[in-house]
Amino acid sequence: MGDLRKTFHVRDYDLDATLSSGQAFRWQQLGQAWEGVIGGRWVRLRLSKGDITAEAAKPVRDWAWLEHYLQLHFNLDQALATFPDDEPMQNAVASFPGLRLLRQDYWECLASFILSATKQIVQIRQMVMLLSKRYGEPIASNDDDPAFAFPTIKVIAACGEKELRECKLGFRAPNLLGAARDILDKKIDLQRLPTLTSSEARKELMKLHGVGPKIADCVLLFAGGHQEVFPVDVWIERALQQLYFPKRRPSAKQLRKFADTHFGPYAGFAQQYLFHHARVHLKLK
């Protein structure tokens, strides 16, 4: 029949950093646990003494979906060994030595980063929560109130811009609506993205309304598993400037070239360490 609880033995897995580092926006910390929604499932996660314990609202036979999402079998040491041996990178890894990359659903990841423009993490979470409550399917949770799945492409495409703005989306509303309708109109095939190279998939994603290089790269990294992709936005530009070029001001193009050449085959992992370290520990100017 399945189990309501499952324990996974992990090594060097920083659950707090991973779920709070701005790569996914469905998680809420309650005490020592994290509650969130993955696809159509509510789950509570807790890290204790080298184990991640997961609780579900309904019995689960196969927990492979959670292992995949959390990337429990990824060889972190292999990635860390490829990072550049410089002080900023060493400090970032030392701050959060078990930070991981999640593997998310393409549509939810794409929609979330369309909403991320000029917003901080707490505000993105709020928009995602409001969208899910209003347009997502209710799903069972361990609380009195249901949780909600993220709304489907069809549901969002059927909305009006005014309705989406009521979820505090602001100018992001037409971008989300346009992207959903573009996908339904077969401007791109989301199902085909996993078969493409990073550059091919980036070009496809950028055909969508409101999707530029940064959003496309976030989707490639956090949904597609293209771990060599290094997303660059204003915050990571400031982090790179402060950490690597404190005495001069390289152009955005120069920073992009530096990001593409300095951090190796797991550059996306390196970016997430630098971003989270800078967000938590540095006062970016």
CATH of range 234-281; options 3.40.50.10880, 3.10.350.10, 1.10.1670.10, 1.10.240.10: 1.10.1670.10
pLDDT on residue 20 = 95
Q: How many residues does the chain have?
A: 285
Catalytic-labelled residue, pool 6, 119, 214, 285: 214
Q: Residue 6 forms beta bridges with which residues?
A: 54
Q: pLDDT exceeding 90 applies to what percent of the chain? A: 91
**R_g of the chain, CA atoms, integer Å:** 19
Please give the torsion angle defined by the CA atoms of residues 45, 48, 51 and 55, in that order, rounded to the nearest 10 degrees.
Answer: -30
- Is residue 285 annotated as a catalytic residue, yes or no? no
- pTM attached to this predicted model: 0.95
Domain boundaries, the chain: 3-95, 106-222, 234-281
The token pair that represents 193 in the structure block: 């993205």
Q: CA-CA distance, 281 to 235, in Å (whole number)?
A: 13
pLDDT on residue 234 = 87
- What's the whole-number average pLDDT of the chain? 95
| DSSP-H helix ranges across the chain | 15-20, 64-70, 76-80, 87-95, 106-115, 121-135, 153-157, 161-165, 172-184, 198-205, 213-222, 234-244, 252-262, 267-281
Checking DSSP bridges between strand 33-38 and strand 28-30, what pairing results, if any? antiparallel
- Topology of the domain covering 106-222: Endonuclease III; domain 1 (1.10.340)
CATH of range 3-95; options 3.90.580.10, 3.40.50.2300, 2.70.70.10, 3.30.310.40: 3.30.310.40
SS (H, E, C) 216-229: HHHHHHHCCCCCCC
pLDDT on residue 113 = 97
Of 204, 209, 213, the residue nearest 171 (C-alpha): 209
pLDDT, tens digit, 9 for 90 and up, residues 95-121: 999 999 999 999 999 999 999 988 889
Q: CA-CA distance, 151 to 139, in Å (whole number)?
A: 12
pLDDT, tens digit, 9 for 90 and up, residues 32-79: 999 999 999 999 999 998 899 999 999 999 999 999 999 999 999 999
- Which regions in the chain score pLDDT beneath 70? 283-285
pLDDT on residue 284 = 59
